[in-house]
Amino acid sequence: MSAHLTTRQRNELNAAILDYLSSNSQFSNAYEVFKEEAGLSEAPPATGREQGLLVKKWNSVIRLSKQVSDLKVKMAQMVESDGNPTERGNTGGERRNLPLQKEPVTVMSGHRERVTCVRAHPKFGLVASSSDDSTIKVWDAESGMLEASLKGHSKAVSHIAFNASGDLLASCSSDMTVKLWNMSSTKGRDSLYKCARSMVGHDHTVSTVEFLVAGNRVVSCSRDKTIKIWDISSGYCINTLQGHRDWIRALAVCKHDNLIASGGNDQVLIVWRLSEGTKGTVGSELHRLEHHTHSIQTIAFAGKPLQRVGATNDPSSQENGAAESSKPPSPPEVMLLASAGRDNMICLWNLNSGELAFVLDDHTNWVNDLLFHPTSKYLLSASDDRSVKVFDLESRRCLRTLEDAHGHFVTCLTMAPHLGRLFSGGVDFEVRGWECR
């Protein structure tokens, strides 16, 4: 086990073990033996972080084991009922992965300013958050305890993103830099949570950073009205995209196509198609979408195409099809792009046609973040009205609302399907975890 622990983690574990042994009088001999074997002449005082840590971790293991057992039972029942647990359509099983309307299960406090972005590790039980306090914090998703604080930016950290493996974390800041952080101990324990590279090239605040699908590039947007594509291995900017007339606040990457989308203060949403040229990754405008009446704050691509979303059937084709089959023709599949901002609207766009599919206007204040559910049938939103909303995209109605999700504006969202949790960040300096079912 020690090969997988940093010196700090090992010291914290030793302190937690001693704390547990010292709290039980029947372990007094074991306490002395462990202290000697661990090479501790004096027992380090357990801080708030280590106090009760072993009990908390053990309770987390029990809870996770029960969840795994429950999932195995449900999977067996699904297979028995229809033979295929992955093709169940729009059933109640999917909605068990939506946030519940009750108190958060974890509250992570430690930032000194507004939380700007929160991201769940793609594989492990970790959550990272960025803040206007110029730090990035890494939390244990189950216990809510602080694992590490990453310091390197000199001004507010605007946004963060994990790569697909979770080995790297990208961050961007008002200090005009993009940084890469090592999130794996495979290169040595001393390199964990350390800044691996700093990339300079923007002339103003960098608003958003994301990894491209291939994993060897990151893309960033800025108040300098440009989008830059960076090579991870060299740290060099290999291309700059220009097309916006004002601050670019939001950027999103399509996971199944070579597309990115950008938007900001000019109220225009641009969809770019990326391709590899002789000088590296280049981009060309695919769609220029206009409907917003104020700054665009957030953009999200659906992970999967959907049916019956803004689609209409041609009556003549239905008449011709009736002669061949009694079933009505299936609606065309639609790939969705969502955008939202300071006009309180959420716009859903048909990427196939580049047209506006429909608008959701349930929020009463700025919409700061959008998140598609893994099934792409639901859209989650965070707003300055202090709520988190869940929308059913087929019915175009709000299914659930987490009222007063934070004590102030809700700024960001991320989902960890492998943990059954939704995490949100706010102007109240907190990150909160919500149980999903």
Q: What's the pLDDT at 1?
A: 36
Whole-angstrom CA distances from 1 to 75, 363, 396 are: 32, 48, 50
Mean pLDDT rounded to a whole number for the chain: 86
- Whether residue 144 is predicted with pLDDT greater than 80 in this model: the reply is yes
Q: What's the pLDDT at 22?
A: 80
- Average pLDDT score over residue span 328-337: 76
The per-residue pLDDT for range 313-331, each reduced to its tens digit, is: 344 434 444 444 455 555 6
- Whether residue 101 is predicted with pLDDT greater than 60 in this model: the reply is yes
The three-state (H, E, C) secondary structure of 186-209, written as one string: CCCHHHCCCEEEEEECCCCCEEEE
CA-wise closest residue to 261 among 349, 389, 157, 164: 349
* 410 vs 327 pLDDT, higher one: 410
Whole-angstrom CA distances from 29 to 24, 34, 36, 41, 319 are: 11, 9, 11, 15, 85
The per-residue pLDDT for range 237-265, each reduced to its tens digit, is: 999 999 999 999 999 999 888 999 999 99
Query: Does the model's pTM come out above 0.85?
Result: no
Domains of the chain by residue range: 8-42, 106-306+331-435
- Whether residue 151 is predicted with pLDDT greater than 90 in this model: the reply is yes
- The CATH code that applies to domain 106-306+331-435 is 2.130.10.10
Q: What's the pLDDT at 141?
A: 94
